[in-house]
Amino acid sequence: EAAEKCGYEHFMLKEICEQPKALGDTLRPKLDKQGKLVFPPDIESLIKGASHLLITGCGTAYHAAMVASYVIEQVASIPVEVVIASELRYKHHIRKEGEVCILISQSGETADTIAALRMLKNLGIPTFAITNVVGCTLSREADKVMYTNAGPEIAVASTKAFTTQLLSLFALATLLAKAEQLVLLEALQQLPSQAQRLLDRQEDIQRFAANQFNKTKVFFMGRLVDYAISLESALKLKEISYTHSEAFAAGELKHGPIALVDTSTLVVALCTQPSLFAKMDSNIKEVKARGATALVITFEQVHTFDETADMIFRIPQTHPLFSPILTVMVSQLYAYYCSVQKGNDPDKPRNLAKSVTVE
C-alpha cells in the first residue's frame, strides 16, 4: 500500500495532487490536432439533438450535475433539470419531448443511480452515462457512455473523479454553446495548469486548517455555481473531518442560517461571480457582525473582499462558469488538512463506503 501511495501520506492527498494530470487526460481525447472539440459522432448528435436535459447522480456526482445545470443553461440555453438519483427512481417523472438523461457516477455501480437508469429506460428516455470505471454496470446498460480518465480513485471521499466529471460536462457545455465558444474552449484548456498553480500554494490552506480545524460549525455559502460547490465543500468536510458543516445559497442567509452564526462559526464564502460580488460582500459583513470568522475564496485579481474577509484564498483567473474545478480544490485541501489535524484517517472515514451498491 505504501508503494501505491507514491510517497504521499494518504491516497486522498495523492488523488488531490493528481488532478492537473487527470484533468489533462480527460480533456485531451476531446480535442483534435487543431485544438477543436471532437466528440464521437453518436454522442454529439444525441446531445445536440436534446431539447431538454435531465442530469442525475448521488453524493458528489449529484453536485457535478448541479454545477452543469447552471453552466449549460447559461451557455447553451437548454433547460436542464437536476434530480438526485435516489429521488428520481421513486418520483413520478414526466417525460418531455426531446429529453435526454445524463447519469453521473464515478464507480458506475451506485444502486440508486442504476435503478434510476432502468426507470428512465422503461420510460423510453435516451440515457448517457459519464463514469470513471470501464465496463461498469452503468456503462453497460446506458445507451451511450463517456469516460472520465481520472484513473483509480481509492480514497472514499471523491476528488479527482469530481473535477474530471466537471471537466467532461464543461466540454459538453462548450460543444453546445451558442456564443463565446472560443473563449470557453481556451478557458477549458488552461484548467489543468491552473489546477497545478493552485496546488503549488497548498501550504496556505494547510496553515489555515491548522488554525481553524477546531471550529465546531462551518458554513459554506455562495450563489449559482458557488452554491453548488458550497454543497460539495460541506459534504467533503463532514465526510472526513466529522465537523458539522452546512451549505446554503447566500441569499438564504437571512431565512434561517444566520440564527446559528456566532463566534464559534467559520463561514467560507465562495465568490467567483463578478456580478454578485457586492451581494456576497454584504453577506460576509452580516456574518462577521455576529462574530464569525470569514474565509473568502475568489480570483487572483479581485480586491472587493480585502477589507471584509479574515483570510482570502485566491484561485487563478478562469471563466467564472468554470471556477468550480478550482474552488473545490481549495475545499478538498481544507477538508483533508482538517481531517489530518484531528487525527482521522481521511482515506477511510467512519460509516462511509466508496460505493453504495446496496440499498
For ligand G6P, the binding residues (CB under 6 A) are: 58-61, 105-107, 110, 113, 156-158, 352, 354-356
Q: How far is the CB of 204 from ligand G6P (least distance, A)?
A: 26
CA distance 326 to 318: 9
Q: Is 354 a catalytic residue?
A: yes
> Helix, strand or coil for residue 260?
helix
Nearer to ligand G6P, 133 or 221 (CB): 133
Q: How far is the CB of 19 from ligand G6P (least distance, A)?
A: 15
Nearer to ligand G6P, 107 or 194 (CB): 107
Task: List % helix, strand, coil for the chain (3-state, nearest 5).
Answer: 50, 15, 35
Contact 237, 334 (CB under 8 A): yes
Nearer to ligand G6P, 145 or 295 (CB): 145
Pick left, alpha or beta for residue 291 (phi over 0 → left; psi -120 to 50 → alpha; otherwise beta).
left
Residue with cell 477511510: 348
Residues near 207 by beta carbon (within 8 Å), at least 6 away in sequence: none
Q: How far is the CB of 232 from ligand G6P (least distance, A)?
A: 9
Q: Residue with CB nearest ligand G6P?
A: 59
Q: How far is the CB of 158 from ligand G6P (least distance, A)?
A: 4
Nearer to ligand G6P, 305 or 336 (CB): 336
Q: Outline where DSSP puts E strands in the chain.
A: 52-57, 80-84, 99-105, 127-131, 144-147, 217-222, 244-249, 265-270, 293-299, 311-315
Q: How far is the CB of 157 from ligand G6P (least distance, A)?
A: 6
* DSSP sequence for 202-257: HHHHHHHHHHHTT-SEEEEEESTHHHHHHHHHHHHHHHHH--EEEEEEGGGGGGTG
Q: How far is the CB of 349 from ligand G6P (least distance, A)?
A: 8
Contact 334, 207 (CB under 8 A): no
CA distance 31 to 192: 14
What does the CA dihedral 312, 315, 321, 327 come to, rounded to 10 degrees? -70
Nearer to ligand G6P, 58 or 221 (CB): 58
Which cell goes with 205? 490552506
Active-site residue set: 354
